[in-house]
Amino acid sequence: MGWFTRPPPPAPGALLARPDPACTFCGIVSGRVRASRVYEDPQALAFMDIHPAAPGDLLVIPTLHAAGLEDIDGTLAAHLFRVVHLLVRGLRRSGLPCEGVNVFLADGEAADQTVFHLHVHVFPRTADDRFRLEVEWQERSRADLDDDAARIRAGIARSGHRPWHP
């Protein structure tokens, strides 16, 4: 499978205890696919993106195959973000151009996820880089925002967790 081959996304909850042989990132975890590794522990692996937006562009993945955030538990999600935090600190001290950092996760086909193994991008940024996120920001009324917040809290409750309430 090529780096940007887009297979159909797996069903939600598709956390696998073993690697997916068709997954490029599982191949990196196993060593079958070469990568420039930066960090590794039993739960997470960080490596250089082969199509970087800038020097120092990193990817962080769980070592188990999981398509997206829905497919991992909160403990692993928190661990991945701790690894991201460590990498950001390393980037800022590496000597590579890094005046700022963007952290990005595309979760699902509609979000333009192209490799269906959960991965977090860590992009080093400079004031004069050409990296842009083109979005038409929209202002919403407080009533609409409050309604959206209530719907998301209800979704959290349906997932089996207690949302925060003021």
Over residues 54-87, the pLDDT tens digits come to 999 999 999 999 999 999 999 999 999 999 999 9
CA angle 7, 11, 13 (to 5 degrees): 130
Annotation says 119 is catalytic: yes
Q: How confident is the model at residue 18 (pLDDT cuts 50, 70, 90)?
A: low
Q: Which of 65, 85, 117, 119 is catalytic?
A: 119
DSSP string for 5-64: --PPPPPTT--BSS--TT-HHHHHHHTSS---EEEE-SSEEEEE-SS-SSTT-EEEEESS
Distances (CA, A) of 50 to 33, 115, 126, 152: 12, 13, 20, 36
Q: What CATH homologous superfamily does 1-128 map to? A: HIT-like (3.30.428.10)
Query: Bridge-partner residues for 136, per DSSP?
Result: none
**pLDDT at residue 164, rounded to an integer:** 66
**pLDDT at residue 159, rounded to an integer:** 81
Q: How confident is the model at residue 156 (pLDDT cuts 50, 70, 90)?
A: confident
**pLDDT at residue 21, rounded to an integer:** 79
**pLDDT at residue 160, rounded to an integer:** 81
Of 34 and 132, more confident: 34
